[in-house]
Amino acid sequence: MITVATLLLLRHGRTTANADGGLAGRRPVELDETGRAQAAAVGARLRAVPLAAVVTSPLIRCRQTLDLALPGVAPVVEEGLVECDYGAWEGQPLKKLAKDPLWPVVQQHPSAVVFPGGEAMAAMAGRAVAAVRAWDARITAEHGPEALWVACSHGDVIKAIVADALGVHLDLFQRIVADPASVTAIRYTPVRPFVVRLNDSGGDLTDLVLPKRRRRRRSAAAESDAAVGGGAGAGSVEPAG
């Protein structure tokens, strides 16, 4: 049995900047009509599972997403989940930015990018990964290994967290997609993370709920073992070996 909590990474719904083809960055852009509908739809899926905690980027588009998805829930703000500081790129049309000499570096070698007047992409990745791993350890300790929790954040931030979980270099993170209002599920174990959902925009989340079982002491390696042959599914209990 994988005795760790399950992180549900939620990207905010579509914003006015997304619809207009702009780079919002840390500007206070809000959800558009489509984004509000996306937030309501993902909420029906999230409310079907027991959530031990909900944390969020401080930006309003994430707060609006959670207000619509999980009304009555007071999320905890986590600064480590805030959008990358794109500096002078913030608020610019993507079509214009695509002509900037820095654009191909962002596409092919993001680990080397420092946005003018802003943040290094490697620094964004480091603080985001540190934040979710710290929260995951805390939630596992406080709520047990069957706990599920939500972290609402932004596209590049989520892609960086997924790249870390997959064990791939940040320079490959542009191969990962995180659509508005999508859910990506990660389980961190003592040896390796497991990415059990990626960019899920409509699937049932209830199979991610792990059954409560009598706990057995196992080595860190055993807790982190992958199921040879693929196993029985994300919510199943693996053999003890």
Once rounded to an integer, what is the mean pLDDT over residues 95-102?
A: 98
Q: What is the DSSP string of 169-186?
A: -GGGGGG----TT-EEEE
CATH node for 6-210? 3.40.50.1240
82: pLDDT strictly greater than 90: yes
Report pLDDT digits (tens) over 100-132.
Answer: 999 999 999 999 999 999 999 999 999 999 999
Residue 212 is predicted with a pLDDT of 73
Helix axes 60-69, 33-46, angle to 10 degrees: 50
Report pLDDT digits (tens) over 15-67.
Answer: 999 999 999 999 999 999 999 999 999 999 999 999 999 999 999 999 999 99
Report pLDDT digits (tens) over 156-186.
Answer: 999 999 999 999 999 999 999 999 999 999 9
CA–CA distance, 150 with 197 (Å, rounded to integer) = 13
Rounded percentage of the chain residues whose pLDDT exceeds 70: 87
220: pLDDT strictly greater than 80: no
Break the chain into its structural domains and give their ranges.
6-210
Global pTM value: 0.90
Residue 221 is predicted with a pLDDT of 52
Single-letter code of the amino acid located at 174: Q
Residue 1 is predicted with a pLDDT of 44
Confidence of residue 229 (pLDDT cuts 50, 70, 90): low
- On whether the CB atoms of residues 51 and 150 are closer than 8 A, the answer is yes
